[in-house]
């Protein structure tokens, strides 16, 4: 139909759940060593983190993350590192991130 604009689909878009912006302090445990950082966004299935510079992070690595939030309290999750971009990592969590309190309309 002429004049109709449709949104482009992004072939690399693989998110299953919406993301929510957050500013949560985190402690990421890699080989029993803690890395301090913060979560910048959260979804039901993962976290986008910024951590201190390190060469210890590897794609596919399983690690634990302690999350401290005002909104949801503190919680700990295990996850797999799926993306690394400098100091930023994408973590796909093994259990759901408890974000129900964030999804307010």
In tens digits, what is the pLDDT along the chain, a chain of 105 residues? 444 444 434 445 555 678 899 999 999 999 889 999 999 999 999 999 999 888 999 999 999 999 999 888 899 999 999 999 999 999 999 999 998 766 654
What the block records as the tokens of 70 is 């005002």
Which phi and psi angles does 100 have, rounded to 5°? -55, -35
Separation of alpha carbons 4 and 97, rounded Å: 38
Separation of alpha carbons 87 and 57, rounded Å: 10
Instruction: Classify 100 as helix, strand or coil.
Output: helix
Q: Is the pTM of this model over 0.75?
A: yes
Instruction: Classify 95 as helix, strand or coil.
Output: coil
Domains by residue range for the chain, with CATH: 20-99 (2.40.10.220)
């Amino acid at each position: 139909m002429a004049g109709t604009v449709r949104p482009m689909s992004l072939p690399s878009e693989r998110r299953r759940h919406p993301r929510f912006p957050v500013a949560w302090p985190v402690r990421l445990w890699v080989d029993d060593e803690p890395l301090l950082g913060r979560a910048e966004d959260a979804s039901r299935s993962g976290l986008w983190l910024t951590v201190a510079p390190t060469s210890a992070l590897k794609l596919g690595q399983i690690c634990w993350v302690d999350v401290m939030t005002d909104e949801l309290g503190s919680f700990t999750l295990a996850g797999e590192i799926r993306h690394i971009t400098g100091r930023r990592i994408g973590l796909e969590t093994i259990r759901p991130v408890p974000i129900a309190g964030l999804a307010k309309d």
